[in-house]
Amino acid sequence: GDAGLLRATWEILGAKLETDGAIGTPTISTLLPFVWHEGTITLNAVNKSTQVKRFALDYRNNIPIDDLYAFSTTEPTLIRVGRADITCDMDIQFDDTAQYDLFKNGTEFAAKFDFIHTTTPYQLTFEMPKVVYRAAVPNPDRREQIVIPARMEARHDTTDATALKITLINQQASAG
């Protein structure tokens, strides 16, 4: 199957959708997709690619519905930016005490998820300069492999002026 593919879902709020009237046949790309095994996951400046088994990133802008629409209109008005919630859920294997200590102590650290296609110039990167684990601390009670569901929360980093940076590089453009 395609369980190893990197998948994304986008929900975009927009207004005044217009078309040019001529809808033709779409061109379907034959490029290979980004795949999980070509990714590099860096947590607290340490490569943890083999320890992270799954991850999902969620960005919510939290725009109050009352701020979207003016009275007597069905189209959104000027959108005010809400307090964004950026979370990352992943399954991670603790192979040493360093990640466990970050988890247990609530210490802030940097996280980077980098997917580079090996045969083309394509790259997709998610960088969070400041994250903290937000889940119940596991309590290992025996010597065995421990893979736990870990939730991280991104925090605004005043040095970098961002909580999340997404970079997409393809043959057409590079945008950050």
pLDDT of residue 66: 64
pLDDT of residue 127: 92
What is the residue type of 141?
Answer: D
pLDDT of residue 4: 57
Q: State how far the Cα of 34 lies from the Cα of 6, in Å rounded to an integer.
A: 6
Q: Which long-range contacts (CB under 8 A, 24 or more apart) does 45-51 make?
A: 45/109, 45/110, 46/98, 48/92, 48/99, 51/92, 51/93, 51/94, 51/95, 51/99
Specify whether the CB–CB gap between 97 and 78 falls below 8 A.
Answer: no
Specify whether the CB–CB gap between 159 and 165 falls below 8 A.
Answer: no
SS3 state of residue 103: helix
Strand partners, 126: 113, 166
Q: State how far the Cα of 156 lies from the Cα of 151, in Å rounded to an integer.
A: 17
Give the helix/strand (H/E) hosting 57.
strand 52-60
pLDDT along the chain (176 residues), means of 10: 58 58 70 74 91 85 65 61 79 82 88 82 87 78 72 79 83 57
pLDDT of residue 45: 93
Q: State how far the Cα of 125 lies from the Cα of 169, in Å rounded to an integer.
A: 9
What pTM value is reported for the model?
A: 0.71
pLDDT of residue 76: 59
pLDDT of residue 112: 93
pLDDT of residue 77: 61
pLDDT of residue 1: 47
Other CB atoms within a 10 A radius of the CB of residue 147 amount to 14
pLDDT of residue 169: 81
